Chain A
Amino acid sequence: MSTPELSYEQARAELATVVEKLEAGGSTLEESLALWERGERLATVCQQWLDGARARLDAARTESE
């Protein structure tokens, strides 16, 4: 699970898949927990990408002003 190397799009796509699986149910508790943990990690990766992008945007803005 090389999470940091995922692109934003990869992370988001996998996150959507994880959520669908969780919503479909039918997994064991152990599997569900593992899926949820993966989902949380993926959501964090997505958020990091977005935060990073915003920070870069702000930096560029400050620089040009």
Chain B
Amino acid sequence: MTEAATTPPSTTPENPWPVRVVSQKIASWIARLGWIWVDGQIAQISRRPGASTVFLTLRDPSADLSLTVTTNRDVLDSGAPNLADGARVVVHAKPDFFPARGTLSLRADEIRQVGIGELLARIEHLKKLLRAEGLFDRARKRPLPFLPRRIGLITGRASAAERDVRDNARRRWPAIDFRIVNVAVQGPGAVPQILDALAVLDADDSVDVIVLARGGGSVEDLLPFSDEALCRAVFACRTPVVSAIGHETDVPLVDYVADLRASTPTDAAKRIVPDLAEEVRLIGGARQQLRRRVTQLLDREQQRLDAIRSRPVLARPEAMVDQRETEVRALRERGTRCLSHRLDRAGGELEHTLARLRALSPAATLQRGYAIVQRPDGAVVRSPDEVGAGDRLRVRLAGGELTATVEG
């Protein structure tokens, strides 16, 4: 086979292969694949009345790929009588080249519809596998931004999920911006569309968080959200992914892989944007607290400063001078008092002396009628012997002086 792929066939413009040769060669290559079991999803089924052959379109659940299956009506009726679009089947078939049209189909001789029980068992198995690979690890979860610049929303067109996420997010934060990608959220085609949407939103730098939202549905409806390719794509996203699938009780595998699992689309809105009113209230509270604290601090410092300034040494600085002035005044008074005391005493002494002086004076004696006789030279005559006849004498009386002459 490798040889055939690498060796160019020996054809030239002059020696080309006829269509039948090419057709025959392709048919023989394809026939080599033999009988195989194929897992797929029914995208379309056409039973033509009267015709014994039934055509089915079998597609890959995770990718936009499909093959045509042809089978006998009996095979279908015995293996999967109630087959409808979207059903999962396992087909035993042989790839078959139809030379008349150059088309390829799988010719099936057995078709088994995969029941919901088996699908769930497969999901359980896949869950173990992904967990073992670390796709659910808490440490691998990326934190959500506090306030995303833009929210990427993947959801069904005009769905309740879209409305719930968008309206609730806007109610909390009116200026929030969305980039919404509408996809099929169930049935064949859902997974490939969601994968495309994830790729687009993850590549958009302005998208800070991606929300995968879908309302409630049957177990079959939610199957795409347990798809392996989808889980791996979500895990590979650089942008944080929030899953909001179905109701509280629905837990598709993507919920384990997502960075955050919201129980419902409304819950997702609450988790991805903060509540503006609440934030404003918190900031307001913090600001008030801040002001109160600073004002308290200033008031306390003012009190301390006032206390220091009211201390007498600062409040009454003149006391510093007053005190000294008092001392000076006291000293001066002491001085004055001391001096005047001394003057008083001196005055007293003077009077006393004067009195004594006056007591010693002869004036009082003279007053009583005594006289003092003096010679002209002033000497007091105390005895008649001291004078001779004819001597002139001065006689001093209380009322004045007179002169006398000694007669004998």
When the two chains form their complex, are residues A12 and B314 in contact, meaning their CB atoms are under 8 A apart? no
Please name the residue on chain B nearest to A16 by beta carbon: B308
Which B residues from 242 to 294 make CB contacts under 8 A with A? Answer: 287, 291, 294
Given contacts A39-B314, A43-B314, whether A8 and B301 have CB atoms under 8 Å apart is yes
Please name the residue on chain A nearest to B304 by beta carbon: A12
Within the complex, the shortest CB–CB distance from A13 to chain B, in Å, comes to 11
List of A residues within 8 angstroms of B295 by Cβ? 57
B365 at the interface (CB under 8 A from A): no
When the two chains form their complex, are residues A50 and B314 in contact, meaning their CB atoms are under 8 A apart? no
Within the complex, the shortest CB–CB distance from A15 to chain B, in Å, comes to 6
Q: Which of A33, A40, A64 contacts B314 (CB 8 A)?
A: A40
When the two chains form their complex, are residues B313 and A19 in contact, meaning their CB atoms are under 8 A apart? yes
A39 to B324, CA, bound (A): 20
Given contacts A12-B304, A39-B314, A61-B291, whether A50 and B309 have CB atoms under 8 Å apart is no
Given contacts A29-B324, A32-B320, whether A57 and B291 have CB atoms under 8 Å apart is yes
Within the complex, the shortest CB–CB distance from A26 to chain B, in Å, comes to 13
B311 at the interface (CB under 8 A from A): yes
B302 at the interface (CB under 8 A from A): yes
List of B residues within 8 angstroms of A46 by Cβ? 301, 305
A5 at the interface (CB under 8 A from B): no
Q: Mark A42-65, 1 if CB is under 8 A from B, else 0.
A: 010011001001100100010010
List of A residues within 8 angstroms of B320 by Cβ? 22, 29, 32-33, 36
Q: Mark A1-45, 1 if CB is under 8 A from B, else 0.
A: 000000010001001100100110000010011001001100100
B317 at the interface (CB under 8 A from A): yes
B298 at the interface (CB under 8 A from A): yes
Interface residues on B, range: 10 to 19
When the two chains form their complex, are residues B313 and A50 in contact, meaning their CB atoms are under 8 A apart? no
A54 to B291, CA, bound (A): 11
A16 to B163, CA, bound (A): 69
List of A residues within 8 angstroms of B304 by Cβ? 12
Please name the residue on chain A nearest to B317 by beta carbon: A36
List of B residues within 8 angstroms of A61 by Cβ? 291
A8 to B297, CA, bound (A): 13
When the two chains form their complex, are residues A53 and B308 in contact, meaning their CB atoms are under 8 A apart? no
Q: Which of B298, B301, B314 has the most chain A CB atoms closer than 10 A to its own CB?
A: B314
When the two chains form their complex, are residues B313 and A39 in contact, meaning their CB atoms are under 8 A apart? yes
Given contacts A54-B298, A61-B291, whether A19 and B305 have CB atoms under 8 Å apart is no
List of B residues within 8 angstroms of A22 by Cβ? 313-314, 320
When the two chains form their complex, are residues A19 and B314 in contact, meaning their CB atoms are under 8 A apart? yes
List of A residues within 8 angstroms of B305 by Cβ? 12, 15, 43, 46-47, 50
When the two chains form their complex, are residues B324 and A50 in contact, meaning their CB atoms are under 8 A apart? no
Please name the residue on chain A nearest to B302 by beta carbon: A50
A61 to B304, CA, bound (A): 25
Please name the residue on chain A nearest to B320 by beta carbon: A32
Within the complex, the shortest CB–CB distance from A30 to chain B, in Å, comes to 11
Given contacts A32-B320, A64-B287, whether A15 and B294 have CB atoms under 8 Å apart is no
When the two chains form their complex, are residues B291 and A36 in contact, meaning their CB atoms are under 8 A apart? no
Within the complex, the shortest CB–CB distance from A63 to chain B, in Å, comes to 12
A16 to B308, CA, bound (A): 7
List of B residues within 8 angstroms of A8 by Cβ? 301
Given contacts A57-B294, A57-B295, whether A23 and B313 have CB atoms under 8 Å apart is yes
Please name the residue on chain B nearest to A23 by beta carbon: B313
Given contacts A16-B308, A57-B291, whether A36 and B314 have CB atoms under 8 Å apart is yes
List of A residues within 8 angstroms of B308 by Cβ? 12, 15-16, 19, 43
Within the complex, the shortest CB–CB distance from B5 to chain A, in Å, comes to 75
Within the complex, the shortest CB–CB distance from B286 to chain A, in Å, comes to 12
Q: Can you pick out 11 interface pairs between chain A and chain B where the beta carbons lie within 8 Å of each other?
A: A8-B301, A12-B304, A22-B313, A22-B320, A32-B320, A33-B320, A36-B317, A36-B320, A39-B314, A46-B305, A50-B298
Residues of A bordering B, CB below 8 Å: 8, 12, 15-16, 19, 22-23, 29, 32-33, 36, 39-40, 43, 46-47, 50, 53-54, 57, 61, 64
Residues of B bordering A, CB below 8 Å: 287, 291, 294-295, 298, 301-302, 304-305, 308-309, 311, 313-314, 317, 320-321, 324
Lowest 5 A-B CB distances belong to which pairs?
A22-B313, A46-B305, A36-B317, A43-B309, A32-B320
Q: Given A12-B301, A36-B314, A40-B314, output 6 extra A-B contacts at Cβ < 8 Å.
A: A22-B313, A33-B320, A36-B313, A36-B317, A40-B317, A43-B309
